[in-house]
Amino acid sequence: MSELFELTAHAAHALLAEKQISASELLAAVYARIDAVESDVQSYVLQMRDAASAQAACIDEKLASGAPLGPLEGIPLALKDILCTAGVRTTCCSRILENFIPPYDATVVTRLREAGVILVGKTNMDEFAMGSSTENSAFGPSHNPWDLSRVPGGSSGGSASAVGADEALLGIGTDTGGSIRQPAAYCGVVGLKPTYGRVSRYGLIAFGSSLDQIGPITKDVHDAALLMNAIAGPDPRDSTCYPEPATDCTAKLGREVRGLRIGVPKEFFAQEGMSVDPAITALVHAALRLLESQGAIVEECSLPNVRFSLPTYYIIAPAEASSNLARYDGVEFGYRASGTKDIVSMMTETRDAGFGAEVKRRIMLGSYVLSSGYYDAYYLKASQVRTLIKQDYERAFERYDVLISPTAPSVAFPLGAKADDPIQMYLNDICTIPINMAGIPALSLPCGYDQGLPVGMQIMSAHWNEPTLLQVAYAYEQAAGWTRKAVREAGRVTVAG
């Protein structure tokens, strides 16, 4: 049998339900794994050992009583440090929130607690979710568990590296322009960005309010579906949340893909300023041939306005960020500069010392495009182009059940390689940003290896159609044999133990 920390959530649930293991044993195995590798991987900024152990003991009492367990009850989870947790420090990995302790739980955290998930700790991230490598964290970078000299991706790099290094069985990330899917691809795990509005954003510390979404980072597709079931659904505290009950995301797992139509947008493989590594292109096309051999119909298609996604995103997202981050001024909460002569200098020095370079860059850019005389030329125009991108997807999904592309144009790059070149860093998200612009769901899952590092394939579907997305992902995963054990054995994992 695998080490307990290597298990998927659904495999661990089966052992718990059969009383072959206890919740306390499972949690202890995960913390032992953290003790063994965390100094190398650096996934966590805070651990919640006392609360987690107390919760595991309560679940063991429930098991002993003969009561049934929910599908995720007793499963250890790594939570991105951007979701408010009552009484637990929540920093967004920024000095300006270094000592912030929220008085309430985010809706997603509440739902995880109701599902009996055990929160192991809060994970590292790019400050305020602004970045593609987790190098922008005020507390230092996380490392890729496949090669510790490389980035785990971002901004949810801490959650992805925790799941990839088996420091948790499940993870939660957030995705504004690819921040679940890109690190999932780099760390050899599954990452799902839901439809915008499928999961409540209440209690999520905002970066770009029209783009942010919360979603699962897991060891396989089945676990992603289970975790989606736990966190999705209406929430009256979030006006952007879809008011109807969420569809069961496990409903189509195991169904064949025969007759499903798969579109392959050519713009995701080559466009101006970007080319996908040929080895990644070859692996994605091999995956498409495998799906075709199962009866799926695969065709090339075009999304002509996708080529405008990156510049459009870097107008809209910074504009929303500049508005959202205006509240961090040293007056009501968070860090405050001391020894200042007046309120203006206090606010200025607070923000100068409290924010990192990337956050400042985006605030300045966002403030500029929203300023008088530039709003129409930049923000309004970008909003109009965003509509064209969304319409491209709507037309595509009239013909295709899903679309498939690479998740990222390259494998994980070395730490520091792009830290001084923001444009090259931004280009890492060129395959993922269009999905956030359209608000549709998308999932990344492993489809092979290049240079001994994982490669991710991205599957997209129409709004609210997560079950079909997961159906195709699961069919590919099972046909390709990318079980968790196979993923570990096929690649080179630096921290395998």
Q: Give the active site residues.
A: 80, 155, 179
Which H helix or E strand runs over 294?
none
**Two tokens at 53?**
């152990």
Can you tell me the distance from the alpha carbon of 174 to that of 212, in angstroms, rounded to the nearest whole number?
A: 7
**Two tokens at 113?**
């607690």
Type of residue found at 410: S
Half-sphere exposure of 280 (CA within 13 A, CB side): 25
Can you tell me the distance from the alpha carbon of 179 to that of 51, in angstroms, rounded to the nearest whole number?
A: 28
Beta-strand pair 118-123/44-47: antiparallel
Can you tell me the distance from the alpha carbon of 46 to that of 206, in angstroms, rounded to the nearest whole number?
A: 20
| Residue 444: strand, helix, or coil | strand
Residue entry with tokens 């799941």: 163
φ, ψ of residue 38 to 5 degrees: the values are: -60, -35
Q: How many residues does the chain have?
A: 497
As a dihedral over the C-alpha atoms of residue 163, residue 168, residue 170, residue 175, rounded to 10 degrees, the angle is: -50
φ, ψ of residue 46 to 5 degrees: the values are: -160, 135
Give whole-number Cα distances, 70 to 51, 137, 278, in Å. 19, 35, 44
Can you tell me the distance from the alpha carbon of 421 to that of 16, in angstroms, rounded to the nearest whole number?
A: 48
Extended strands (E) in 13-109? 44-47, 76-80
Can you tell me the distance from the alpha carbon of 201 to that of 218, in angstroms, rounded to the nearest whole number?
A: 20
- Spatial contact of 449 and 490, defined as CB atoms under 8 Å apart: yes
- Spatial contact of 108 and 231, defined as CB atoms under 8 Å apart: yes
Type of residue found at 447: C
Dihedral over Cα of 159, 164, 166, 167: its sign: negative
Nearest in space to 44 (alpha carbons), one of 8, 78, 86: 78
Number of H helices, E strands in the chain: 16, 13
